[in-house]
Structure 1
Amino acid sequence: MAAHRRPRQRTVHRTSARTAATIALAGAATATGWDGTGHAAPEPTPAQVEVTVDRLYREAEAATEQYNGTKERADAAERRLERLRDETARKEERLGEARTALGSVAAAQYRDGGLDPALRLALSAEPDRYLDSAARIERAGDRHATAVAGVRKQLREIERLRGAARVEVASLASRRAELKRHRATITGKLAEARRLLSRLTEPERAHADRSAGDRDTLSAGAAEASNPRAAAAVAYAYAKLGSPYVWGATGPNAFDCSGLVQAAYRSAGVALPRTTYAQIDTGHRVSRAELRPGDLVFFYPGVTHVGLYVGDGRMIHAPNPSSPVRIAPVDEMPFTGATRVT
């Protein structure tokens, strides 16, 4: 019985193997298109590429604003660390001087400290003079104690400064790691956008590239700036039309969106914060209907983009790496809010 069963097992095994191979081959044929139809993902249309590139640019700009904010905090931490180090060095120098003075006092006391004061008085040829000297020695001892207390206080202060410096060093290291992450995000998004744009023809890229926005002057009926500083900021922005977008840049020859706005007002003698998140809280809010040239206009729910309103429903802004500084309608992006710098 056993001898008859073995051939059947081999037959069943070969049959199962053939069946499995057939199924696997059929599946492979379907996946690879052997049936003549193919199932590879179709190439995106130019319109889909444009939508995806716009999304990538927005995400890169959000990461850029995070980078800018982190860099601002890192720079502040670096300045605090430098001040702490300078202060520590000054205090260590004063501590060295105090220690030298204490060493001189201690050496003098050691040289003169061999006799008991009462015996010195008994042996003194001039007791009155010795009593005066003893009083001076006692006062010197008080000064010595004060000096020792001063040194101890300086040591504690130096240790406090060193502890604060250690905290700043750790903060700075954390900020630099964060900058690296934001930089990687930005460069990754921009590289993907460039890759997608490279698939398009020249006419298609021209359509997707918003650098073709108009650079016309404003109409004669445009509103006046709210104050001379705003007018100066608008004039600066006009002078920078056509400048390239570079993430993290604040001029004078390249800008990102918040960098352009900051540079424009810096030229007017006004110091604005670095990021869109902080700029929107500068001055006071105005409604869209109240906009006047020089107002800051913000876009997207995360407040990730800013432009400088120039009147007639338009703004000057630094859009993205494929578009230089240009004039664009305020309606071009989802409006979030506006601020008037005062």
Structure 2
Amino acid sequence: MAAHRKPKQRSLTGSTARTARTTAFTLALAGAAGATVLEGTAQAEPTLTPAQIKSKIDKLYHEAEVATETYNGVQEKAERTKKSLNQLRDEAARRTERLNAARGSLGSLAASQYRTGGIEPALQVVLTSDPDQYLERASIAGRAGDRQAAKVQGAQRQVAEIARLRGSADQRFTELAEQKGELKKQKAKIQEKISGAEQLLSRLTADDRARYAAQDGHGEAGGGGDRASRGDRTEMPRGSVRAPNARASQAVSFAYSALGKPYVWGATGPASFDCSGLTQAAWRSAGVALPRTTYTQINAGERVSRSQLAPGDLLFFYSGITHVGLYIGEGKMIHAPRPGAPVRIAPIDEMPLTGATRPA
């Protein structure tokens, strides 16, 4: 029986037990530490320098401005489509009223023929006591019949035209619905870019945020430290470069009056502006109607070279023509830079200049 007994397990005691417990604890601690390190490596955001953060913010704001100009273009198109739709509906309503009037007249004729029984003209000649009088009346009736036939044909044409107008209106309505969908898409894209930029801004220190806010444009520190560069001046300074004509002078004067007003994407004033909204409003005050977007404003006037620049000229930046400012002379412009940067004076060299236009 003794041969079948299980061998007795000896418990660890003394230094052997202490060594085993220490080894197990060390291994467990090392494993936990390793897991923590790996987990931290997977979740930790990369450390960026303030300069790298600012660069990313600039990129997001620029992408938001690209989307803003696309939004502005679609918005302008949607307004034209809505206007066209309303005109088609109004014209269809007017033609329907005329058609109803013509139908009323034709209905009276039909009722009259029904009451007379529609007697054949040859039979009426036989039955009448005065054939000569009948023939005279028949001639008058024939002319009246021709006029009624013309009314019938006119009514038929109106029915066809109303159907065409309603078809066009349906098409415009579909286009408007598609444009509203595109506006919603662009709006979401703009808000996403601006939200991303704001999150990055929150990672900067208060001093770095203040320095970034003081920048004149899209990431380049401005060269002007005077009050006008900060958007405090609202009148044209004395001794400034003269505009080539009264309209350009008025546009420049308007731009000065807008200094310090906030940038809001899609805004055309008077309380806030985006870049193309500011230039459009400035020239509108001078009686000149500019298109809504940067990429259409560049074609609204005479192209001028950098050496020919005069106050009031429009300056366009980046290869995609996504930013615009109003030249005021001495190498400076007034523009609406980006969210968080109000309308201000800035050097034109802070961004890549693509072209310039003098509105007519």
CA deviations 1:207-254 (Å, max 9, x no partner) are 222457545458877532121111111111111110000001011110
Aligned with 1:62: secondary structure? Answer: helix
Unaligned runs of 5+ in 1: 1-25
Q: Which amino acid in 2 is paired with 1:237?
A: A
Instruction: Label 1:39 to 1:176 Cα distance change in 2 as closer, same or farther (>3 A).
Output: closer
Residue 107 of structure 2 corresponds to residue 103 of structure 1: yes
How many residue pairs match? The answer is 317
CA deviations 1:273-294 (Å, max 9, x no partner) are 1110011112111111221111
Unaligned runs of 5+ in 2: 1-29, 217-221, 229-235
Q: Which moved more, 1:71-80 or 1:263-272?
A: 263-272
Instruction: Label 1:227 to 1:136 Cα distance change in 2 as closer, same or farther (>3 A).
Output: same
Of 200, 204, 208 in structure 1, the residue corresponding to residue 204 of structure 2 is: 200
Q: Which amino acid in 1 is paired with 2:168?
A: A
Structure-1 residue corresponding to 2:50: 46
Aligned with 2:327: secondary structure? Answer: strand
8 Å CA contact retained: 1:29, 1:35: no
Residue 94 of structure 2 corresponds to residue 90 of structure 1: yes
> What is the correspondence of 1:15-26 to structure 2 with a 5 Å cutoff?
none
Name the larger-Rg structure. 2
> What is the correspondence of 1:28-43 to structure 2 with a 5 Å cutoff?
32-34=36-38, 40-43=44-47
Q: Which moved more, 1:109-118 or 1:60-69?
A: 109-118
Structure-1 residue corresponding to 2:280: 262
Q: Distance in 1 between matches of 2:61 and 2:77?
A: 24
Q: Which amino acid in 2 is paired with 1:275?
A: T
Structure-1 residue corresponding to 2:321: 303
8 Å CA contact retained: 1:210, 1:322: no
Q: Which amino acid in 2 is paired with 1:74?
A: A
Q: Which amino acid in 2 is paired with 1:120?
A: Q
Q: Distance in 2 between matches of 1:202 and 1:80?
A: 51
Q: Which amino acid in 1 is paired with 2:326?
A: L
Structure-1 residue corresponding to 2:231: none
Q: Which amino acid in 1 is paired with 2:195?
A: A
Instruction: Label 1:105 to 1:173 Cα distance change in 2 as closer, same or farther (>3 A).
Output: same
Structure-2 residue corresponding to 1:276: 294
8 Å CA contact retained: 1:219, 1:312: no
Aligned with 2:251: secondary structure? Answer: helix
Identity of paired residues, percent?
56
8 Å CA contact retained: 1:32, 1:38: no
Structure-1 residue corresponding to 2:70: 66
Q: CA deviation at 1:302?
A: 0.4
Of 213, 216, 236 in structure 2, the residue corresponding to residue 209 of structure 1 is: 213
Q: CA deviation at 1:38?
A: 7.6
Question: Could you state the TM-score of these two structures normalised by the residue count of structure 1?
Answer: 0.87
8 Å CA contact retained: 1:229, 1:268: yes
8 Å CA contact retained: 1:229, 1:269: yes
Structure-2 residue corresponding to 1:253: 271
Q: CA deviation at 1:170?
A: 1.1
Residue 310 of structure 2 corresponds to residue 292 of structure 1: yes
Instruction: Label 1:164 to 1:205 Cα distance change in 2 as closer, same or farther (>3 A).
Output: same
Q: Which amino acid in 2 is paired with 1:279?
A: Q
Aligned with 2:265: secondary structure? Answer: coil
Query: CA RMSD, aligned part only?
Result: 2.3
Q: Which amino acid in 1 is paired with 2:68?
A: T
Of 125, 128, 132 in structure 2, the residue corresponding to residue 124 of structure 1 is: 128
Instruction: Label 1:142 to 1:178 Cα distance change in 2 as closer, same or farther (>3 A).
Output: same
